[in-house]
């Protein structure tokens, strides 16, 4: 079921209502300052039918987990896009795909698959496809006709290195390859599940997903934007792909409908969280610290969470989103859910 059909519209906003309630009545046990150490686990109130669930073990090492998964994803991506003829297009594809990325979407996909009883092998083709789609979105987002950015992940953007024509084609090629890769490389997953996952990803990045967010974002430049519109933009432009990452991983792992929907809500929260933190960092960090051009949203008069809410209230909203995300994990095996608990904290505490 489509994300937007469940909770989101210009007329009804799930997170907006929750964020306003939160600002009026802050939780008695907040998750703490937004900029927590990535290695420190923040306590959360996990409630399910008024029963407290024990928090995940503090012994879990997020840094080690992320490093291991990132290494495996990078190896799979290297194999998926070898340098071959035509050389120029594959150089451009690899330049953006194999750069110094966080690999959040692939790692979320794998962790979701493992949470519901699957393993990394089942999820890896989908994980690679998600990173291909993400790389495509960044290439296109940086183009002069879109955000017109010169810096991405600490390096010149794709079009600055290869030219606009090659950059556009590199993005197109990565998008096409993503679906080919899922269909041709996924093993030991039922055809029905593969088709469902492909449909989920296609919906997330199309005219009801990422493209919808981008269109409203472009149309809103230089205008007074309401919180409801800002939320629509970022739920679609950013959170949709994060949501698809968790949902597709769960589908590949054989999750039931209830499990998929809980992970959908978890990912929806951390996807929006990612954007709230991104908006905060854009006005509090330098370009060198971020690895991309800082202050661009302010310079282009774009609506952001700090602009509409203020930095302090944006941080409070981010803390609430962490709490909401963790609540959706309460019914899963706590040991298997540990990576996802810590991933929420990692997103909240990131500094770039």
Q: What is the DSSP string of 112-139?
A: HHHHTT--HHHHHHHHHHHHHHHHHHHH
Average pLDDT over residues 8-19: 39
Average pLDDT over residues 294-312: 78
Mean pLDDT across the chain, nearest whole number? 83
Asked if residue 59 has pLDDT above 80, the reply is: no
Asked if residue 165 has pLDDT above 80, the reply is: yes
Highest mean pLDDT among 4-18, 242-256, 273-287: 242-256
Considering the entire predicted model, what is its pTM? 0.80
pLDDT digits (tens, 9 = 90+) for 33-48: 333 333 333 333 333 3
Lowest average pLDDT, out of 28-37, 188-197, 289-298, goes to 28-37
Residue 56: pLDDT band by 50, 70, 90 thresholds? low
Asked if residue 6 has pLDDT above 60, the reply is: no
Residue 294: pLDDT band by 50, 70, 90 thresholds? low
Query: What is the set of domains in the chain, with CATH numbers?
Result: 13-18+57-349 (1.10.600.10)
Residue 296: pLDDT band by 50, 70, 90 thresholds? low
**What is the SS3 assignment for 48?**
strand
Q: Give ∠ CA 347-146-14 in degrees, rounded to 5.
A: 45
Residue 265: pLDDT band by 50, 70, 90 thresholds? very high
43 or 210, higher pLDDT: 210
pLDDT digits (tens, 9 = 90+) for 83-94: 999 999 999 999
Identify the pLDDT of residue 289. Answer: 60
Contact assessment for residue 113 and residue 69, using Cβ atoms and an 8 Å cutoff: no
Identify the pLDDT of residue 291. Answer: 64
* C-alpha torsion sign, points 225, 227, 228, 233: positive
Identify the pLDDT of residue 153. Answer: 83
Identify the pLDDT of residue 284. Answer: 81
Distance CA 25, CA 270 (A): 21
Contact assessment for residue 115 and residue 56, using Cβ atoms and an 8 Å cutoff: no
CB-side neighbour CA atoms (13 Å) of 162: 22
Give the residue among 142, 135, 148 at the shortest CA–CA distance from 174: 135
* C-alpha torsion sign, points 231, 232, 237, 242: positive
Identify the pLDDT of residue 8. Answer: 33
Identify the pLDDT of residue 61. Answer: 83
Distance CA 105, CA 243 (A): 9
Lowest average pLDDT, out of 146-150, 184-188, 270-274, 324-328, goes to 146-150
Partners of 155 in the beta sheet? 152
Identify the pLDDT of residue 252. Answer: 98
Q: What is the DSSP string of 135-191?
A: HHHHHHHHSTTTT--SEETTEE-HHHHH-HHHHHHHHHHHHHHHHHHHHHH--SS-H
Identify the pLDDT of residue 302. Answer: 77
pLDDT digits (tens, 9 = 90+) for 19-32: 444 434 443 333 33
């Amino acid at each position: 079921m489509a994300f937007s059909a469940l909770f989101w519209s210009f007329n009804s906003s799930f997170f907006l209502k929750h964020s306003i309630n939160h600002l009026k009545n802050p939780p008695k046990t907040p998750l703490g300052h937004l900029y927590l150490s990535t290695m420190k686990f923040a306590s959360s109130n996990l409630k399910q039918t008024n029963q407290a669930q024990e928090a995940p073990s503090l012994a879990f090492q997020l840094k080690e987990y992320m490093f291991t998964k990132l290494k495996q994803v990078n190896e799979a991506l290297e194999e998926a896009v070898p340098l071959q003829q035509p050389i120029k297009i594959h150089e451009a594809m690899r330049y953006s795909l194999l750069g110094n990325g966080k690999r959040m979407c692939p790692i979320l996909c794998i962790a979701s698959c493992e949470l519901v009883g699957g393993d990394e092998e089942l999820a890896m083709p989908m994980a690679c496809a998600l990173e291909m789609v993400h790389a495509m979105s960044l290439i296109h987002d940086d183009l002069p006709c879109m955000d017109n950015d010169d810096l991405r992940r600490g390096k010149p953007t794709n079009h600055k290195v290869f030219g606009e024509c090659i950059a556009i084609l590199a993005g197109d090629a990565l998008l096409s390859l993503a679906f080919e890769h899922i269909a041709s490389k996924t093993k030991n997953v039922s055809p029905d599940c593969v088709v469902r996952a492909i449909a989920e990803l296609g919906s997330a990045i199309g005219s009801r997903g990422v493209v919808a967010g981008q269109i409203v974002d472009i149309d809103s430049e230089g205008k007074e934007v309401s919180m409801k519109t800002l939320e629509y933009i970022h739920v679609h432009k950013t959170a949709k792909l994060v949501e698809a990452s968790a949902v597709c991983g769960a589908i590949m792992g054989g999750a039931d409908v209830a499990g998929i929907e809980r992970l959908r809500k978890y990912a929806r929260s951390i996807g929006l969280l990612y954007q709230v933190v991104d908006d905060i960092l854009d006005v509090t960090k330098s370009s060198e610290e971020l690895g991309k051009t800082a202050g661009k949203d302010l310079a282009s008069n774009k609506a952001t969470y700090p602009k509409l809410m203020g930095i302090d209230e944006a941080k409070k909203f981010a803390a609430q989103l962490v709490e909401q995300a963790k609540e959706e994990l309460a019914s899963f095996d706590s040991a298997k859910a540990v990576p996802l608990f810590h991933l929420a904290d990692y997103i909240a505490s990131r500094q770039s």
